[in-house]
Structure 1
């Protein structure tokens, strides 16, 4: 990746609005996002992500590679949060471990888009169904994260844990319901019907995302000391775990697709961490999970590492095997 592309990635508005929120707190500014507005934006982002994902799924024509790709996506979105949770639980509370695990099991749409831009620069093509795979990976990690948090928090409180009850509570949680429901609605809606609400689901998405990340930056700035108190552990996890996940996704994907573009996108889907859907879900579903941990880890450490180092690193591996 050339220096100009690196500069573009480092000046990504998503990262800068988040940093602005942190800076505002450090400068003791009175900048605030009203609580009700923040909750509305969280719901909107989940609705928009789910609906657009459903639309992508409805346009995909099934074949063996597409089915295997989707299964791999769901597998990654399930195994990564499970492994991450039990690694993190040794040092953190169930709420924080579950929120971080869900972030790393889910995906970063911005990192995914950055990888597609890299592929365009390298004159490499990728299949459209990879966008549907990305959409499929949002919800499973959120559900597993909420399920693990509920299960272990009940055990800590010496409450009798009913697996069926925990699953029901996790799946019917408002944040999970909105993204799953929107996914189904997007799948059922025709292209003409989707076009009718495109100004809401697509055109204003980046604007609301900027406000949301500003709010998350403010929230993280208030709790940044909590991450520093955890010592080097969060830094090590958010720096090393993405490469483990990305390499696992890459080598599995090589067994189901010969496309270098698809392989790179799988690596990035495995390596990236969500700082949109998961924080939006956890803000309402698990309010005692500290965004000063999971958001700086995903956005402040993993995101730039993936963009600056990860994408060209995985691509060089793919070329080496090609």
Structure 2
């Protein structure tokens, strides 16, 4: 276990993240231009989506139905658990919803780093796992916003009883969700690029490889290094904001990925995934979004503080998963399989 953690710590993607973090902490003038940062994000979203679509074209829907259902279970249950935990910790409703959407969604970069980790370990995984990344994005955002509207209208929302969960489950969504919320959840930049690239990959299949391989496959690991350098710079800038939010939230940002990641590993094993696939399912459940979810929260829940949901996701959970979480999920998957 220690050897795996050390190997992960000294991988290029992690070391460049640490380099960016140190540059930010020591007030270096190192900066990634905004245009390049946006371009790197778009590149990673397209690369993951189209590779997932090509792999998905090899499978029938029947053969991957159970992994899809397992992914949807994570997408719908993690936000509910998050809200319950944070309300128990006396966090206000809006910030609890912000963190529910953030931790229910997935970090594309953490997932990409996990793939690099598995490749380094020479561990194979199911090709359709990239498609599950896309599937996990929207449900968590959607259910979090639904919970917000339900709890705001329910005068007894502090009590999380089985009766209340039934009220939430039986509420007709058209009364609670407006068109703008649906648009942010389903057609935001991240979800749109992932879904669009995935669809293109499914339609074209192996025929797309000659065109996409030089850019989106051969250069993927190198582009990921540049992106993680930028993420290190941003994470360092967010650290002061995190300190002001108290130890309880800092503890949540570390324990949440362990709890949800363990849940993801268990679900992955139950739906019959391989060692590599089970590890990635743990990464999906244990990571937190700082791209898709914040984009939706910015307009849908302006009362939630970005310094909390982005600060915790990017400043604590992201480096924790990058340094320790991924090898931990791998060890859990080895044990449960």
Contact conserved, 1:119 with 1:261, CA < 8 A, in 2? Answer: no
| 1:83 partnered with 2:81 | yes
| Separation (CA, whole Å) in 1 of partners of 2:49 and 2:93 | 29
Q: CA 1:218/1:96 → structure 2, altered by over 3 Å: closer, same or farther?
A: farther
| 1:18 partnered with 2:33 | no
Which one of the candidate residues 109, 112, 115 is aligned to 2:111?
A: 109
296-305 vs 68-77, greater mean Cα deviation:
296-305
Deviation at residue 171 of structure 1 after TM alignment: 1.8
Q: CA 1:135/1:225 → structure 2, altered by over 3 Å: closer, same or farther?
A: same
Q: Structure 1 length normalisation: TM-score? A: 0.76
Contact conserved, 1:73 with 1:136, CA < 8 A, in 2? Answer: yes
Contact conserved, 2:57 with 2:202, CA < 8 A, in 1? Answer: yes
- Structure 1: 5+ residue stretches without partners: none
RMSD: 3.5
| Separation (CA, whole Å) in 2 of partners of 1:303 and 1:97 | 25
Q: CA 1:315/1:59 → structure 2, altered by over 3 Å: closer, same or farther?
A: same
Q: CA 1:93/1:219 → structure 2, altered by over 3 Å: closer, same or farther?
A: farther
Residue by residue, what CA displacement relative to the aligned partner does 1:160-180 show, whole Å, maximum 9, x if unpaired? 975333112332223322222
Q: Structure 2 length normalisation: TM-score? A: 0.73
SS of 2:306 mapped into structure 1? coil
| 1:315 partnered with 2:321 | no
Pairs aligned (count): 303
| 1:281 partnered with 2:292 | yes
| Separation (CA, whole Å) in 2 of partners of 1:267 and 1:27 | 34
Contact conserved, 1:54 with 1:184, CA < 8 A, in 2? Answer: yes
Runs of 4+ in 1 over 6 A off after TM superposition: 148-152
**2:68 aligned residue:** 70
| 1:241 partnered with 2:239 | no
Deviation at residue 94 of structure 1 after TM alignment: 4.0
Contact conserved, 2:78 with 2:100, CA < 8 A, in 1? Answer: no
Q: CA 1:183/1:29 → structure 2, altered by over 3 Å: closer, same or farther?
A: same
SS of 1:184 mapped into structure 2? helix
**1:29 aligned residue:** 28
135-144 vs 215-224, greater mean Cα deviation:
135-144
Deviation at residue 30 of structure 1 after TM alignment: 0.7
Deviation at residue 60 of structure 1 after TM alignment: 1.8
Which one of the candidate residues 299, 315, 322 is aligned to 1:303?
A: 322
Alignment map for 1:1-322 (pairs within 5 Å): 1=1, 3=3, 5-63=4-62, 66-85=64-83, 87-88=85-86, 90-91=90-91, 94=94, 98=98, 101-106=101-106, 108-110=110-112, 112-113=114-115, 116=118, 127-141=126-140, 147=145, 162-257=177-272, 262-271=277-286, 273-274=287-288, 278-281=289-292, 289-290=306-307, 291-316=310-335, 318=336
| Separation (CA, whole Å) in 2 of partners of 1:260 and 1:215 | 31
Contact conserved, 2:262 with 2:332, CA < 8 A, in 1? Answer: no
| Separation (CA, whole Å) in 1 of partners of 2:228 and 2:20 | 8
| Separation (CA, whole Å) in 1 of partners of 2:273 and 2:222 | 37
Residue by residue, what CA displacement relative to the aligned partner does 1:111-157 show, whole Å, maximum 9, x if unpaired? 64367459857xxx754444543453345446656x569969x99xx
Contact conserved, 1:246 with 1:267, CA < 8 A, in 2? Answer: yes
SS of 1:189 mapped into structure 2? helix
